[in-house]
């Protein structure tokens, strides 16, 4: 991750829509999509997104706890986006994100997708934001990987 901690773009990609992920000689990866597949861009504000991949030593080796938490303000919610977020809780997704340093990363994998937990934000005061809080989480044997676009 970069030191600035800010993201330019965050997308979710359904694991079932990926035909292959191949690793290049320098460790970066390429993603091949099925012909009909399109990533779903998640609208967010800079301070309302957190992405992490934390290593945890287990008896059988290293596992990474992959998490992405994104708050989507109500004005950006469409019925299509809400439907896709519900599907993400059933089928699993990968998170592709671009940092302000112009690097793109992929969190999760087709074997280890992230599953979404969607919660309504209902503030206690009128000045707080209304919308959805989406937490994507999963475990894998690898951290986020840099993507070749």
pLDDT of 6:
86
Sort strands 40-41 and 7-14 into parallel, antiparallel or unpaired: antiparallel
Domain segments of the chain as ranges = 7-146
> For each successive 10 residues of the chain (149 residues), what is the average pLDDT?
70 94 90 89 89 87 93 93 95 95 93 94 73 94 90
The count of other CB atoms within 10 Å of the CB of residue 18 is 19
The count of other CB atoms within 10 Å of the CB of residue 31 is 21
Rounded CA-CA distance 137/115 in Å is 6
Phi, psi of 9 (to 5 degrees): -150, 140
């Amino acid at each position: 991750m970069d030191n600035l901690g800010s993201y330019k773009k965050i997308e979710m990609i359904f694991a079932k829509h990926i035909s292959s992920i191949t690793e290049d000689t320098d460790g970066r990866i390429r993603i091949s999509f099925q012909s009909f597949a399109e990533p779903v861009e998640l609208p967010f504000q800079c301070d309302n997104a957190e992405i992490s991949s934390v290593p945890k030593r287990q008896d059988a080796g290293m596992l990474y706890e992959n998490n992405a938490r994104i708050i989507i303000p109500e004005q950006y919610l469409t019925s299509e986006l809400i439907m896709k977020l519900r599907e993400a809780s059933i089928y699993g997704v990968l998170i592709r994100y671009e940092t302000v340093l112009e690097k793109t990363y992929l969190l999760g994998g087709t074997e280890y997708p992230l599953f979404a937990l969607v919660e309504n934000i209902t503030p206690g005061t009128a000045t707080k934001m209304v919308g959805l809080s989406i937490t994507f989480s999963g475990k894998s044997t690898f951290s986020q990987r840099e993507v070749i676009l």
